Structure 1
Amino acid sequence: MFSKILIANRGEIAVRIIRACREMGIATVAVYSEADKDALHVSLADESICIGKAAASESYLNMTAILSAATMTGASAIHPGYGLLSENAKFAELCAQCGITFIGPSYEVIGKMGDKEKARQTMQAAGVPVIPGSDAFTDRKKAAKRAVEIGFPLMIKARSGGGGKGIRLVREEKDFNSAFDVAAREAEAAFGDGALYLEKYVNPAAHIEMQILADKSGNVICMGERQCSIQLNNQKLLEESPAPTMSAEKRKEMMEASVKAAKACGYENAGTIEYLVDKEGNFYFMEMNTRLQVEHTVTEMITGKDLVKWQIRIAAGVDMDFTQDDIRLDGCAIECRINTRSAGRIKTLHIPGGPNVRFDTALYQDYTVPPYYDSMVGKLIVKAGTREEAIRKMNAALCELIVEGLSVNIEQQLDILTDERFIEGAYDTGFMEKYQK
């Protein structure tokens, strides 16, 4: 097992990883920008090193500074969290070259699955259903010709990256050229790769993702699904597990496909297979996230497995001590992302409590949230024996949560939870459209 791990991230996920390491008896190193000198992860870690200025490009994305910090402190492994460098194949390769374990899959797998074109081809070869679409284009004229063959409406998507960047819905042919150009510029700016591919627009559809764990001995286990259809601007707002309308037969089919997908690319560590499920119940591979997901918490709540600890164990060469037959989805868990539209000082902070109520955050009283980073400042997660109980528990927890000093989306989350479509459970990716009008 590792004696010391550097966490190449910030915010709630850095805090989450530090706590897991502490429970495992592993020393931790935090890295931070000048803007994050008072951040919670800095004070919780055993050691901390400033790696640059406020801008992420000069700190949390500075591979040389992070690797230098790991070498200087004697960290033998780096946990990238999610976002930032977590799906950067070059960074994972540099870790290997420096003799530092990257807690995640190999850089070869990250590169293959991060290239959405190669990922589609890999899944097709493995017999996993994919959305009808195209290979990647940099030439708009060729892309436009293929778009007509696929038919409208369709989605334009960046070959590299994720997080909702470089994605455009095109409903009519006349709008294709401008949408392609905008998506290409956005993808180039975000990922350094402006290539785009096309997919048939599957609508209405549910966004379902499957959590997998794979160890170095080739054991692959699927931990069940998460329903992630409630999204705003391609960013998830609320996730739950299990998916309320999924049958046991469909779950088994999708879990088997996800294990097949992971084995097809030689996957190791934690990962997520994302699908669209149409109204007839057909599911289609969208992408694979080669990292820990923000919403991993709901899977932890209903399976009783600590995914961060298992990431660390697997990276250290420890095989999983449970099998697929041991996975049971116990009860229902819901996660609400708490986002802010402002920066500023936390004047009052009250965190809800009670059995099976969890708030993952890096906020504390009088902390000043900097304006440079992600808008998510916390994740509220609850678990109950039934979905109805979980919804009531989340309502109560949201009403108890107080974050004064920031403009946060608690009311928005309460609106979602009391919406009849959510209560019924048969919602899809169009759920938030009425709130955008």
Structure 2
Amino acid sequence: MTLHEVEASTPILSVSGLVKRFAGEDRSAVGGIDFDLAPGEIFALLGPSGCGKSTTLRMIAGFEKPDAGTVRLGDRDITRAAPETRGIGIVFQDYALFPHLTVLENVMFGLKALPRAKRRAKAEEWIAFVGLSEFTARMPHALSGGQQQRVALARTLASEPRLVLLDEPFSNLDAALRESTRDEMRALLKKAGVSVILVTHDQGEAFGVGDRIALMRDGLIEQIGTPEAVYQGPRTAFAAQFLGKTNLLEGQAQGRVAKTDLGWVALNEHATGRVLLSLRPEHLEVMAPEASQPTGPMAGSMDASMADMCRNCVLPAQIIGREFRGHDLSYRVAVDGRELFALTDYRVDYRPGDRVVLCPREPAVVLARLDDGDVAPRGASVVPLTVPAGGNSAPGKISTDALVGLRCGGMIQ
């Protein structure tokens, strides 16, 4: 489902102003959140432990009563409805299979409103749907974790819910099984055409399964968007750091560029004054000093004179740490006494102590305008902008060569 399709659809679920407070707590577990879910969409609630995502799921399911706000399923207000009347299915973290029942009997259990003969036929249909027809007589303990999960999903889908809730469904699987099971689960859910809310603390799960992500923190939603949008364009320092490694820099912005202690960098949007920036490790190109020609989107069309000017945006650096991760290499790099992270593919191989140069190949993302009262995050590793003697933090006018260098490297348009 594309973002355009999500925005154009009539929501199957609407959550508005949802609040939950627990006795003895200083703050709300959920502090007034809003989101819509489109038909057939998989929507991931992502965040750290204690952010309110599971409480939100429980209020949608009817296991917790909200202190304020509404939950609507289609045109029906289900805020105060009993869980069993909501038309919502849920797959629990531990799958909640009955250990004394076979696979077939577990799936049939939720179909008691049907005659027994019809229950069996429908259960067998959904067991076949999840690819477990040959295991109908098996007991749960004789199945792998991934197979147990598919049984739980078949039991949930057999009751034909309008909405399915997944509560940390992959957390009990080992790392080797988690990715393949995640892919299978997404394919089955899409094939069924059901709308889904997934709760997870794992960025990879949210990215791999969700059509859209809602990133939660302290009972509130920080950002909603596609996995690509929230990763490439985080709106806060928390979003930038929770969704993956990043380099946080302070700088002095002049339009679409900013002066930092690491040099001039391009920006993803217009800004002026002091700013907090995010630059992803994979957006830093690592090169040998003698081969310091940027390879940004426009680099292939540069002539010799333009390439020479582009050397204004390379940064002398030294490798101080290296982590081989199979398909890529992660580096800790020292630049003028500051430490940055850089990520390359496995063929760009350097060792601690090697002298290199860095070249930003994507614009930095503006996270905060510090002169407007935004505050840099506490506890974050931020490369500050050094104020020159005399207290004047203005960077001066960007040189023509540096500006042309950023442009011809494909950094700004």
TM-score w.r.t. length of structure 1:
0.28
- Higher helix share goes to which structure? 1
- Higher strand share goes to which structure? 2
